[in-house]
Structure 1
Amino acid sequence: MKRLVYTLLLLVFWTLSGTAQQKRSLDFTSDGDFKVVQFTDTHINLEEGKNVQVFDVISSVLAAERPQLAVLTGDIASQHAPREIYRKLAAIFEAEDVPWVVVFGNHDARDAKARKELANFVEQFPGCLNHDVGTLTGSTNFVLTVKGHNQKTAALLYCMDSNAYSTLKPKVDGYGWFDFSQVNWYLQKSRDYTAANAGQPLPALAFFHIPLPEYTQAWNNQLAPPVGVKNEDECSPDINTGMFAAMLHGGDVMGTFTGHDHINDYIGVFHGIALAYGRVTKVMRNEEDPKAGGRVIVLQENQRQFKTWIREWSGKKVLECSFPGSFQEKEQAAR
């Protein structure tokens, strides 16, 4: 009996080890680039046949860009049982040989238990690099490291659950916000990575769903006007728990990338941090709305800068710019 139990434990260990080994590392290319494609707000509903074109949009953008990572920034499924949707998405990423992660939006399983179960489910896919820390508010909080040519950590990708809706109703309405546990976690991780890098903050990006309140100030920055469009007011939370201030203090995050507001796709700058939307990935109804696609971000090894553009489903490349270069040029011209 003991031998049987021991054998079963070994099988479990080997299974888990095999799964872990299949999780690939993220590395800058020999050219010193690391390309991310952000998809957002797909709102797929297989039960009702809604937004199923998204699968073709994602496949087309991946084929055109060949990124090292795909990031889904929330509101992926709009049906009660979303697992089949994630199976189909995982199959697309596997076919294109692209690892992927997802952070949840306000429509991705609204109660904490369902979000946790879904987070555990997506982590089982070999190509999914999610690994929720498990001790914070939200269910998709983790940080990815990107290795440089010397196999040392050269860049960071913070992935965070911006939560769903206010937990203070009826006193405070509206969308969710970062809990203090998440803000403190970010600050600690930032400090740890900075200390390990001889006191120098590493270049970092952050991905989450709901835009920070400071996005409005980035849009209104007249010295360095944004690139892209704002067709609706930013639907940020009514409570500001200081994530932006924490990022300023940490000194590593160069840019944040969100979704949520389907007809906004701008990138602006506020106090030296780029605040950007992705491009809605579902096909919108109105002709004047942004065309379905994804945002591309290209990091450059050992540089606190990145290039970015939108790749539309049609293959068209639009809104190309660089950070901080494009915005520094605008600011100098304005002065």
Structure 2
Amino acid sequence: MAHRDVRTLPKAHLHLHFTGSMRHATLLELAERDGIALPDSLVEDWPPRLSAADEKGWFRFQRLYDVARSVLRTPDDVRRLVLEAAEDDVADGGRWLEIQVDPSGYAARFGGITAFTDLVLDCVRDASERTGLAIAVVIAANRTRHPLDARTLARLAGQYAGRGVVGFGLSNDERRGRTSEFAGAFAIAERAGLLLAPHGGELLGPEHIRVCLDELHADRLGHGVRAAEDPELLDRIVGAGVALEVCPVSNVALGVYSDLTSVPLPQLIAAGATIALGADDPLLFGSRLAGQYATMRAAHELDDATLAGLARSSFAASRAPAELVAQATREIDDWLAAPPEMMPR
């Protein structure tokens, strides 16, 4: 079948977690260097079989994530992770990346949340210069920690607004804690002019999305895919211009949907939603940015014009500078105007 290579389609990547962006080979190398024993699911059985259908399943997922985080021991390790994430995005057609990080998860080893944020931003600048990929940071709080910790991170994010940090998020298992209790942290971030991007609408459905909209004033939803279950809510999201960071491969891996054909991307597109496909945690799910476009093309028989529309949508949902968005839009048009090639199925 003749179609265009999704790897050369210009894209903005808006849902990529810091630790989860690590290359599998890098994880193995760093673990061997420091004698860190990895579970089989991160070695010969990689990518791991995951499910978050219950709390036990999410605990296993989180444990693997924590093990992966533990191999980052030095500033050079952090620098390598960011550079390799940028290289991988460029190889997949990335033009803009907003990488999400919770500094509190690294504070003990790297001198505190401010010192680690400084390190990450320095690594981001270096990786951007070396790869040509424009990169920004979204600081995310962990919903399994106290809401006061989230306020601390929101103030931290606000201090770096305009200096590499563009947004504030809320991650981890959305079934844990009370989302409304994080409203204070999001109010701090909102006053600082940051994009508000909590996780919602993946493990929980439409009612939790409403909480994210009403209490946290979300500009974007990390996932948000289950808005498709409530047409009235979906209309509200579209009307308000709230973007959805849809991560198809991780949705299936975590058991939100049984298979890729069940991911309701066509319904979201038909409703007029602003959508940015994202890889979430490639280290745990085994698929990077271009893979999200490729799997959705195959699962839903999307034509190249639809894929180009998704790519444009990803830039519309981003905090990328206007000139970068304009350039990327021209490149997307050029991609679509080029003749398709015979590509393997």
Q: Structure 2-normalised TM-score?
A: 0.41
Which structure carries more helix by proportion? 2
Give the number of the structure with larger relative contact order, counting CA–CA contacts within 8 Å between residues 6 or more apart. Answer: 2
- Higher-Rg structure is 1
Which structure carries more strand by proportion? 1
Q: Structure 1-normalised TM-score?
A: 0.42
